[in-house]
C-alpha cells in the first residue's frame, strides 16, 4: 500500500514518504491536533490480519517503548491499526545517522566517543526499565544538530520482534549480524550485556569506517563473532590510542561476564582512554552525500522481563577539593565533562568531572559569585557577581573582557549560538556581543524596551527572543550568529497579553515549539504552529511572593513551577498536576531542576535542597544544604559539603 501526499491515514495527514524497508514504509505526517510532524511507520497489512499474537506483542512492545522518556531515545507517541494495517507514530528526527557519517570515512576520535557516550546513557536508562535494544548499530543512532553540537538519539526500540520475520541472508540482516553478540547468534539467553557488545562493535565502526568483521557470508560473520578475537582499530589507524583498542576488546568479549557491566561503564572507559576531557567537535554544516531525513523505524525486540543480573555500576565517588570556604554555586558544562564551582573563598574553579582534578589555576579570585552559566556549546562561561558579570573562554581558561555592569544582581543568559549574553533588570534588557571573544559590544537599548522586565529566554532553535514585561510577553526575531548591534535582536514578532497579571517567568521547551509563561495568577503553555502562538494549557498558580522559578523536563513532557511554599509539577501526557510542599521558613526559591531522565525534581531555597521522585511522590533522602545539581549524564549529581563538592551516583538517593 502506497500513501499519497495529502491523503489521511489513521487521522494523520500524509506529507511525504520518508523511507522504506523490509518492515514497512515510513511517512512524514502531520499530527491532527498538535500540528507537528511525526514519523509514522506503516507495517504490512498481513501482520494485522494473519498473526493476531504478533500484532498483540507489537502493540505491547510499542507501549513499553513509549514509556521510555529520555533525551537520547526517539519517542513513540502512539500506535494502532487502520483497517488491518498496523502503524506506529514516532518523533520525526531531521538529520543523518551514524552509519552514514562513518560511510564518509572514519570519524574524529572525540566525536566517535561522544556519540557512544550519548547512546550509552540512553541504553543504560532503558536497561534500568527492563528493556533491551538488541539491535544497536550505527544506523540506529540518529544524529541531529542542536545549537551547533551533535545530539544522538537511539531508534528502533521494541518494534521489529514479534512480526513473524525470521532472519534471512539479506543485506539488512547481514548488517544486523555485524553487531550481534555471540549469545544472540548462538541462541543462548541474553541480557543487557548484548547491547554492551553491540556498542563496542559500533565504536569500532565509527573509528575505522568498517564493521568489525567485514566478511561476505552470514556464516562467516557468525563464526567470527563466536570465535575470532576482536579486531584492533589502531592497526589501520595509528592515531587511535591502544587503550581504546582495549576498551573495544573488553566490550566485545565472547563471554558476557568478561564485558563491562553497563554501557555507561564502557563509555567512561572510552573517555579515560583518550586521556583528555572530551570536547564534542562541531558538526559539519554540509551533511554526507545522500543525507536526508532519517525517521525512527522498526527494530529487534527489546522486551526483557527478568531483573538485571549485573545492574549498571555505581559511579565512582569523586570529590572536588580545593576551596577554602563553603561552596556556593555549582554548574556542569552541557556534556558533564567539566564542572565549575564558586565559593565563599571568592574563587571560581574549573574541574574535570571524570577524574576530579582541578583544571589550571582558579579562574578568578576576590569575586563573590551568585550565579554561573555555560553557553550551550560549552565554549563560554559567565559568572554573575553582585551587579556585574564576567566572561571566560573555557578552553583557554582566559578571561576575555572587563566586568560588565548589570545594575542589579541577576543571572546572565546566553543566546543558543553563544553570540549574545543577556540579562534583565526592572529598567531594561541588557545585551552584549560575544562573537569576537575579546570584549563585549556596547549596551543596546531597543525600541519598545521599557520598565518592568522580569525574565527573558532564547528559543533553542535560535529564532525567537522572549522578554517578560509586566502584563505581557514580547516575542522578537533572533538572528542566529549575528552581532547584537542592530541585527541579532530583530523585529517584533508577537505580543502575548496577560491582562491584569504580572509575568514572572518565560521558558521554552528544548524543541522550541512550546513557551511557558508564569504570572502571579496563571501558568500558560503556548503552542507555536506556523509562527502563531495559542494557549495549550491554563493552570491556576495562586503564587505568594515574587520569587518564582520554573523548569521543563528535557523532553518537554513535564514542567514545574516553584514559589515560596509549594512546587507544582504538571504532566502534559496525563494532564495531572502534583503539588509538593516547601517550608516557608527556608527562604525564597532559588532554582528548580529536573534530572536528565525527567524522573526526579530538585528544588533549592536559600537554606535547603529537597529532591522528589515525581511518580512515587516520595522525597528522596533528607533535606540537603544547597547547592545540589544534576549532571547531564543522567546518573550523577553534585552536592556541596562545605568546602568540597561530592560527585555521586543518583542511585544513592533512591
Handedness of CA 99, 101, 104, 107 (dihedral sign): negative
Considering the domain architecture, whether residues 155 and 206 belong to the same structural domain is answered as: yes
> Cα torsion at 463, 405, 507, 616 (round to 10°)?
140
Q: What is the Cα–Cα distance from 55 to 160, expressed in whole angstroms?
A: 11
Considering the domain architecture, whether residues 47 and 157 belong to the same structural domain is answered as: no
Cβ distance 627 to 640 under 8 Å?
A: yes
Query: Worst-scoring range by mean pLDDT, 341-355, 370-384, 407-421?
Result: 407-421
Considering the domain architecture, whether residues 191 and 240 belong to the same structural domain is answered as: yes
Handedness of CA 261, 263, 264, 266 (dihedral sign): positive
Reported confidence tier of residue 496, pLDDT bands at 50, 70, 90: very high
Q: What is the Cα–Cα distance from 195 to 125, expressed in whole angstroms?
A: 12
Query: Worst-scoring range by mean pLDDT, 122-126, 279-283, 458-462, 648-652?
Result: 279-283
Helix axes 193-208, 263-273, angle to 10 degrees: 30
Considering the domain architecture, whether residues 435 and 528 belong to the same structural domain is answered as: yes
What pLDDT sits at residue 395?
Answer: 78
Please choose, from the candidates 390, 485, 382, the residue with its C-alpha nearest in 3D space to the C-alpha of residue 442. 485
User: In CATH, what number is assigned to the domain containing residue 126?
Assistant: 1.10.510.10
What pLDDT sits at residue 621?
Answer: 87
In percent, how much of the chain has pLDDT > 90? 35
C-alpha cell at 439: 570584549
**Residue 24 DSSP SS3:** strand
**Is the model's pLDDT at 301 over the cut of 60?**
no
Q: What is the Cα–Cα distance from 603 to 629, expressed in whole angstroms?
A: 10
Reported confidence tier of residue 411, pLDDT bands at 50, 70, 90: confident
Considering the domain architecture, whether residues 63 and 111 belong to the same structural domain is answered as: no
Please choose, from the candidates 493, 496, 445, the residue with its C-alpha nearest in 3D space to the C-alpha of residue 470. 496
Structural domain boundaries, residue 436: 416-541
What's the rounded mean pLDDT across residues 147-151?
69
Is residue 196 in a domain? yes
Is residue 298 in a domain? no
CA angle in degrees (0–180, nearest 5) for 147-152-155: 135
Query: Worst-scoring range by mean pLDDT, 24-38, 312-326, 612-626?
Result: 312-326
Please choose, from the candidates 331, 384, 392, the residue with its C-alpha nearest in 3D space to the C-alpha of residue 361. 392
Residue 527 catalytic?
Answer: no
Considering the domain architecture, whether residues 114 and 42 belong to the same structural domain is answered as: no
What's the rounded mean pLDDT across residues 603-615?
92
Q: What is the Cα–Cα distance from 179 to 199, expressed in whole angstroms?
A: 8
The structural domain count of the chain equals 3
Considering the domain architecture, whether residues 136 and 55 belong to the same structural domain is answered as: no
Considering the domain architecture, whether residues 64 and 197 belong to the same structural domain is answered as: no
Rg (C-alpha) for the chain, rounded Å, is: 25
What pLDDT sits at residue 445?
Answer: 44
* DSSP states of 570-624: EETTT--EEEEE--GGG-SEEEEEE-TTS-EEEEEESS-EEEEETTTTEE-SS-B
Considering the domain architecture, whether residues 497 and 432 belong to the same structural domain is answered as: yes
CA angle in degrees (0–180, nearest 5) for 465-470-471: 95
From 37, 97, 135, 333, active-site residue: 135
According to DSSP, the β-strands at 371-374 and 549-552 are unpaired
Q: Which domain-ending residue is among 91, 108, 126?
A: 91
Q: Give Cα 171 to chain centroid, integer Å.
A: 32
**Is the model's pLDDT at 7 over the cut of 90?**
yes
Q: Which domain-ending residue is among 489, 511, 541?
A: 541
C-alpha distance from residue 136 to each of 66, 72, 86, 310, 315 (Å): 18, 13, 24, 19, 24
Say which residue the cell 582541578 belongs to: 358
Considering the domain architecture, whether residues 68 and 125 belong to the same structural domain is answered as: no
Is residue 235 in a domain? yes
User: In CATH, what number is assigned to the domain containing residue 493?
Assistant: 2.130.10.10
User: In CATH, what number is assigned to the domain containing residue 71?
Assistant: 3.30.200.20
Q: What is the Cα–Cα distance from 630 to 651, expressed in whole angstroms?
A: 12
Q: Which domain-ending residue is among 46, 65, 91?
A: 91
Amino acid at each position: 500500500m502506497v500513501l499519497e501526499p495529502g491523503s489521511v491515514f489513521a487521522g494523520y495527514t500524509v506529507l511525504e514518504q520518508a523511507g522504506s524497508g523490509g518492515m514497512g514504509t515510513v511517512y512524514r505526517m502531520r499530527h491532527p491536533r498538535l500540528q507537528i510532524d511525526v514519523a509514522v511507520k506503516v507495517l504490512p497489512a498481513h501482520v494485522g490480519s494473519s498473526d493476531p499474537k504478533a500484532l498483540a506483542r507489537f502493540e505491547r512492545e510499542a507501549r513499553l517503548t513509549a514509556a521510555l522518556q529520555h533525551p537520547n531515545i526517539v519517542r513513540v507517541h502512539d500506535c494502532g491499526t487502520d483497517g488491518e494495517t498496523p502503524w506506529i507514530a514516532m518523533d520525526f528526527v531531521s538529520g543523518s545517522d551514524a552509519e552514514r557519517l562513518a560511510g564518509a570515512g572514519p570519524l574524529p576520535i572525540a566525536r566517535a566517543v561522544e556519540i557512544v557516550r550519548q547512546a550509552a546513557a540512553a541504553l543504560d536508562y532503558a536497561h534500568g526499565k527492563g528493556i533491551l535494544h538488541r539491535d544497536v548499530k550505527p544506523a540506529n543512532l540518529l544524529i541531529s544538530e542542536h545549537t551547533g553540537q551533535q545530539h544522538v538519539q537511539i531508534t528502533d526500540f521494541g518494534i521489529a520482534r514479534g512480526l513473524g520475520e525470521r532472519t534471512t541472508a539479506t543485506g539488512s540482516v547481514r548488517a544486523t549480524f555485524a553487531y550481534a553478540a555471540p549469545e544472540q547468534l548462538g541462541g543462548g539467553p541474553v541480557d543487557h550485556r548484548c547491547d554492551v557488545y553491540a556498542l563496542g562493535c559500533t565504536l569500532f565502526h565509527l573509528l575505522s569506517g568498517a564493521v568489525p568483521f567485514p566478511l561476505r557470508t552470514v556464516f562467516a560473520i557468525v563464526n567470527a563473532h563466536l570465535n575470532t578475537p576482536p579486531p584492533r582499530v589502531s592497526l589501520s589507524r595509528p592515531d587511535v590510542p591502544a587503550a581504546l583498542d582495549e576498551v573495544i576488546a573488553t566490550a566485545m568479549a565472547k563471554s558476557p561476564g568478561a564485558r563491562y557491566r553497563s554501557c555507561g561503564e564502557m563509555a567512561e572507559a572510552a573517555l579515560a582512554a583518550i586521556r583528555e576531557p572530551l570536547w564534542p567537535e562541531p558538526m559539519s554544516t554540509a551533511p554526507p552525500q545522500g543525507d536526508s531525513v532519517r525517521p525512527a523505524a522498526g527494530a529487534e525486540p527489546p522486551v526483557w522481563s527478568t531483573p538485571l543480573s549485573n545492574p549498571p555500576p555505581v559511579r565512582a565517588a569523586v570529590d572536588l577539593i580545593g576551596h577554602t570556604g563553603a561552596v556556593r554555586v555549582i554548574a556542569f558544562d552541557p556534556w558533564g565533562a567539566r564542572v565549575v564551582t564558586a565559593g565563599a573563598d571568592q574563587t571560581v574553579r574549573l574541574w574535570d568531572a571524570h577524574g576530579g582534578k582541578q583544571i589550571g589555576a582558579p579562574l578568578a579570585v576576590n569575586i563573590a559569585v551568585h550565579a554561573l552559566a555555560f553557553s550551550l556549546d560549552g565554549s563560554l562561561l559567565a559568572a554573575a557577581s553582585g551587579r556585574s558579570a564576567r566572561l571566560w573562554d573555557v578552553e583557554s581558561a582566559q578571561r576575555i573582557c572587563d566586568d560588565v555592569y548589570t545594575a542589579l544582581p541577576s543571572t546572565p543568559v546566553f543566546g543558543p549560538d553563544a553570540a549574545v549574553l543577556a540579562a534583565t533588570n526592572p529598567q531594561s534588557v541588557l545585551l552584549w556581543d560575544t562573537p569576537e571573544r575579546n570584549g563585549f559590544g556596547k549596551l543596546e537599548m531597543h525600541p519598545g524596551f521599557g520598565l518592568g522586565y522580569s525574565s527573558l529566554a532564547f528559543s533553542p532553535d535560535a529564532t525567537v527572543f522572549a522578554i517578560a514585561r509586566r502584563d505581557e510577553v514580547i516575542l522578537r526575531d533572533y538572528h542566529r550568529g549575528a552581532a547584537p548591534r542592530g541585527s541579532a535582536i530583530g523585529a517584533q514578532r508577537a505580543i502575548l497579553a496577560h491582562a491584569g497579571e504580572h509575568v514572572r517567568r518565560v521558558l521554552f521547551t528544548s524543541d522550541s515549539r512550546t513557551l511557558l509563561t508564569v504570572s502571579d495568577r496563571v501558568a500558560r503553555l503556548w503552542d507555536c504552529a506556523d509562527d502563531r502562538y495559542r494557549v495549550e494549557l491554563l493552570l491556576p498558580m495562586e503564587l505568594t511572593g515574587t520569587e518564582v522559578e520554573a523548569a521543563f523536563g528535557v523532553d518537554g513532557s513535564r514542567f514545574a513551577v516553584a514559589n515560596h511554599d509549594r512546587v507544582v509539577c504538571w504532566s502534559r501526557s496525563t494532564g495531572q498536576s502534583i503539588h509538593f510542599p516547601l517550608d516557608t521558613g527556608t527562604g525564597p526559591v532559588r532554582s528548580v531542576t529536573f534530572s536528565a531522565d525527567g524522573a526526579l525534581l530538585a528544588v533549592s531555597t536559600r537554606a535547603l535542597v529537597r529532591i522528589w521522585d515525581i511518580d512515587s511522590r516520595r522525597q528522596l533522602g533528607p533535606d540537603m544544604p544547597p547547592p545540589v545539581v544534576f549532571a547531564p549524564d543522567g546518573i550523577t549529581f553534585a552536592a556541596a559539603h562545605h568546602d568540597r563538592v561530592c560527585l555521586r551516583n543518583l542511585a544513592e538517593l533512591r
